[in-house]
Amino acid sequence: MTRAATARLPTEFGDFNIHVYEIPSTGETHVALVKGEIGDGEKVLTRVHSSCVTGDIFHSARCDCGPQLHLAMKRVSDEGRGVILYLYQEGRGIGLANKIRAYALQEQGFDTVEANEALGFEADSRDYTVGVQILMDLGVKSTRLLSNNPLKLSGVTGDGLSVTERLPIEIPASEWNTHYLKTKKEKMGHQLTSL
């Protein structure tokens, strides 16, 4: 993994520095948005976000991804110091085409976990190893993690990186995503208090 490019990125949530990381062996690129100075690297407000073309770009109402990303950017910007990792892990690691295939299965009555499994995948195939490497490269030693996912807590720990606190990042359910969010809570252990 190499840090391939860096620039300033003004956004509606404030100014960030954007760092693009490349993995030469796979051609994958991952992004880190950094607000302020990392300083001693301790207790850095952090969101580890997996790519979601449908939610982040097209504002799909099927999931809570886009609103979570934007809320995380606002929280980091308001705090004045933090990191948003945007990892290339579409559809919990199954890729965009398979994610859309899973959507089609959901339209037939499968939930999000059943759809992934029917396609031959695990419920969640993501690997946060590269995220840990990026955070370490940025000088982060411990995070205050913006996440509802308990697996992410252990996924972004190791190699000298720790999570000191989990901060919820809940988005209100809608008619389109209530079943999806309930499945994440009941089958994947996501800590969602509003359902």
Active site residues: 124, 126
Q: Which residues contact 110 (CB under 8 A, 6 or more apart)?
A: 102, 118
C-alpha distance from residue 147 to each of 66, 81, 128, 171 (Å): 14, 17, 13, 11
Q: How far apart are CA 83 and CA 95, in angstroms?
A: 24
Q: How far apart are CA 87 and CA 144, in angstroms?
A: 18
Single-letter code of the amino acid located at 19: H
